[in-house]
Amino acid sequence: MKAMNYRGPFRVRVEEKPMPKILHPEDAIVQVTRACICGSDLHLYHGMVPDTRIGSTFGHEFIGVVREVGTGVTKVKVGDKVLVPFNIACGRCNFCKQGLFANCHESNAMATAVGGIFGYSHIAGGFDGGQAEFVRVPYADVGPTIIPSDMDDEDALLLTDVLPTGYQAAEMGGIKVGDTVVVFGAGPVGIMAARCAWLFGATRVIVIDHLEYRLEFVRQYAACEAYNFRSMDDPVLFIKRITDWLGADVCIDAVGSDACGNAMQTITGKKLLLQAGAATALHWAINAVKKGGIVSVVGVYGPTDNLVPIGNVVNKGITIRANQTSVKRLLPKLMDHVRKGVLSPKDIITHRFALEDIAEAYQMFSAKLDECIKPVLIPSTNN
């Protein structure tokens, strides 16, 4: 089968790989019909995540058709069209039972801090991902969810990560009716977070980024205010000024370790790797939130350390909530929102590529060329 093959930072290609096999009675093999590239993949692509082995296949956002199931699989069957949450979760451990599917303890041998994730380096378990024609899907009765016949495939595709992550970002913000919410990052995740903040009763939603085309998009898509941090001397001061000098009730970091905007963070975090990526957005979020406010972090950081003003977290009495998204927990509610037309995630897709053109797709999304917001890959077997 054809699969994406990582050759080192900024170098990827498509190659033949052996077909994935059932390795556990609860495994299934899924034939991929659509897969996305995610901002999280960019951290791998940029070589910032330790233990990203040469030859890995990335891809944690995909939908497809079940082609084979193990002897222990009872809920999905061959031929089912499924969306596959990015978390690999057993559904039985103490964490899964609490709805923390992203923190499953039975799916990742290589690190205890996070559960297994498809195609996300050996830190996240050493599983191959869905930027391929076929993929091994463990715990097939837990994650994979049948796509209802009235749902658009591309809406289903964005339910594997992006929409739930934007939603969980807003949810973890503990938004109360009347709150002002600032979202850092107008990528797919930030756009969804801004859109979802309204569902919790926010009365003002502000997005910060530096890419004009994304700011313009989010203004339309999420009906919010959007500002370019390149046009401000000091983004924190700017936010204070437009929030009665008190700060936002809730700040959301939807940027993560690939942030720009602060030379010191960029040099120490992205060039010298002295910290686990640049924590610029998180720094701004902590300093721009109101005293007693909440900072919600969905931006991804590496496993070592980052420079953030922890003293201000103490002095301002801030609550920080953060996690990888527990997609399965949110699916029933979000599928309902999508089917009722409250949310339309597929509208953020801007580019579609054949799987073979993966190198161009990565470069385009990484360098933000041609006003790219969300790229989708289509294996040639599934036009």
Ligand X SMILES: NC(=O)c1ccc[n+]([C@@H]2O[C@H](COP(=O)([O-])OP(=O)(O)OC[C@H]3O[C@@H](n4cnc5c(N)ncnc54)[C@H](O)[C@@H]3O)[C@@H](O)[C@H]2O)c1
Binding flags for another protein, 9-28, as an x/- string (CB under 8 A): xxxxx---------xxxxx-
* Shortest Å, Cβ 305 to another protein: 9
- Check binding of 362 to another protein (CB under 8 A): yes
- Check binding of 20 to ligand X (CB under 6 A): no
Q: What gap in Å lies between CA 166 and CA 171, rounded to an integer? A: 9
Identity of the residue numbered 17: K
DSSP H helical ranges for the chain: 39-45, 94-97, 153-158, 162-172, 188-199, 212-221, 235-242, 263-266, 280-288, 310-316, 327-339, 358-366
- Check binding of 214 to ligand X (CB under 6 A): yes
- Check binding of 89 to ligand X (CB under 6 A): no
* Shortest Å, Cβ 334 to ligand X: 14
Asked if residue 85 lies in contact with residue 160, where contact means CB atoms within 8 angstroms, the answer is yes
Binding-site member from 19, 78, 223, 263 for another protein (CB under 8 A) = 223
User: 11 contacts which partner out of ligand X, Zn ion, another protein, none, CB within 5 to 8 A by kind?
Assistant: another protein
Q: How many CB atoms neighbour CB 219 within 10 A?
A: 16
- Short-list 324, 339, 381, 366, CA closest to 132: 381
Angle at 147 between CA 143 and CA 149, to 5 degrees: 165
Asked if residue 283 lies in contact with residue 262, where contact means CB atoms within 8 angstroms, the answer is yes
Measured torsion, CA atoms of residues 294, 299, 302, 307, in degrees rounded to the nearest 10 = -50
Stretch that binds ligand X, among 2-10, 68-76, 210-218, 338-346 (CB under 6 A): 210-218
Q: What gap in Å lies between CA 78 and CA 76, rounded to an integer? A: 7
User: 360 contacts which partner out of ligand X, Zn ion, another protein, none, CB within 5 to 8 A by kind?
Assistant: another protein
- Short-list 316, 293, 296, 375, CA closest to 45: 375
Residue sitting closest to Zn ion (CB): 38
Rounded to the nearest 10 degrees, the angle between the axes of helix 280-288 and helix 235-242 is: 30
DSSP 257-286: TB--S-HHHHIIIIIS-SSSSB-HHHHHHH
- Short-list 250, 270, 273, 249, CA closest to 261: 270
Burial label for 280, CB within 10 Å (0-12, 13-18, 19+), is buried
Stretch that binds another protein, among 33-41, 106-114, 225-233, 283-291 (CB under 8 A): 106-114
* Shortest Å, Cβ 23 to another protein: 6
- Short-list 234, 216, 233, CA closest to 225: 216
* Shortest Å, Cβ 345 to ligand X: 12
Stretch that binds ligand X, among 10-18, 35-43, 173-181, 306-314 (CB under 6 A): 35-43
- Interface of this chain with another protein, residues 111 to 150, rule: CB under 8 A: 111-113, 116, 122, 125-128, 138-139
- Interface of this chain with ligand X, residues 216 to 235, rule: CB under 6 A: 229
- Check binding of 317 to another protein (CB under 8 A): no
Q: What gap in Å lies between CA 35 and CA 59, rounded to an integer? A: 7
Binding-site member from 47, 260, 266, 378 for another protein (CB under 8 A) = 47
Binding-site member from 115, 325, 348, 376 for ligand X (CB under 6 A) = 325
* Shortest Å, Cβ 116 to another protein: 7
* Shortest Å, Cβ 124 to ligand X: 11
- Interface of this chain with another protein, residues 224 to 263, rule: CB under 8 A: none
- Check binding of 218 to another protein (CB under 8 A): no
Q: Binding residues for Zn ion, per CB under 5 A?
A: 38, 40, 89-90, 93, 96, 104, 106, 161
Strands 145-146, 81-84: pairing kind: antiparallel
Stretch that binds another protein, among 60-68, 255-263, 284-292, 360-368 (CB under 8 A): 360-368
Binding-site member from 36, 88, 157, 182 for another protein (CB under 8 A) = 88
Task: Indicate the helix (H) or strand (E) that contains 81.
Answer: strand 81-84
- Check binding of 298 to ligand X (CB under 6 A): yes
- Check binding of 210 to another protein (CB under 8 A): no
Stretch that binds another protein, among 34-42, 184-192, 264-272, 302-310 (CB under 8 A): 302-310
Q: Contact residues for ligand X (CB under 6 A)?
A: 38-40, 42-43, 161, 165, 184-190, 208-211, 214, 229, 254-256, 259-261, 280-281, 298-300, 324-325
